[in-house]
Amino acid sequence: MARPRDSQRQRLYDWEDILERTLHGRTASHPCDLHYARSIVSMVCRHYKIDKARWPGVTDGRSRRRAGYGYSSNTVKLPKWTRDEWTVLHELAHFLVCYRWGLRKASHGREFVSIYMRLLELFAGVDRKLMAQHANNRGLVFDHIDTYRKVRGKTWQ
């Protein structure tokens, strides 16, 4: 089965940009090194009660132009210039979508956006109403932010 078309990608990137500009100086993303990125992975995976053996690795993405989550390697790759909290949370949202649904959902689909918004709220302190307002203004499709709160094994509550 082919992965669904990623029709929200550019809208999501635009949403991230406008949200960071709106929040500049308050809860906008902070730079981080690989050690801190790994601690974010740990916090998120513990929050979702994911078995430690399934946690994604975090590596230097030196040979890459962009940050990314590799499904087959279960690794978040972060080139130096992409190392900030929001980028790590963005890639972890990809991990959580793949953990739950495999490759059956669009890379930046409604599930991804909802999970990413939840991560930004919980781990970066971004206001959910502000995120939803900007997401609606950008035409992003997402579920209620609490829809994907918990995971048990592979079953979301």
Q: What is the pLDDT of residues 57-112, one digit of tens each?
A: 999 988 888 999 999 999 999 998 889 999 999 999 999 999 988 888 888 998 99
Angle at the Cα of 90 from the Cα atoms of 58 and 34, rounded to 5 degrees: 25
- 9-156: CATH topology is Zincin-like (3.30.2010)
Cα–Cα dist 40/42, whole Å: 5
8 Å CB contact between 59 and 76: yes
- DSSP annotation string for 49-70: T--GGGPPEEEE-TT-SS-EEE
The domain locations on the chain are 9-156
The tens digit of pLDDT for each residue in 118-147 reads: 999 999 999 999 999 999 999 999 987 666
Residues making up the chain, counted from first to last: 157
Nearest to 38 by CA among 1, 2, 91: 91
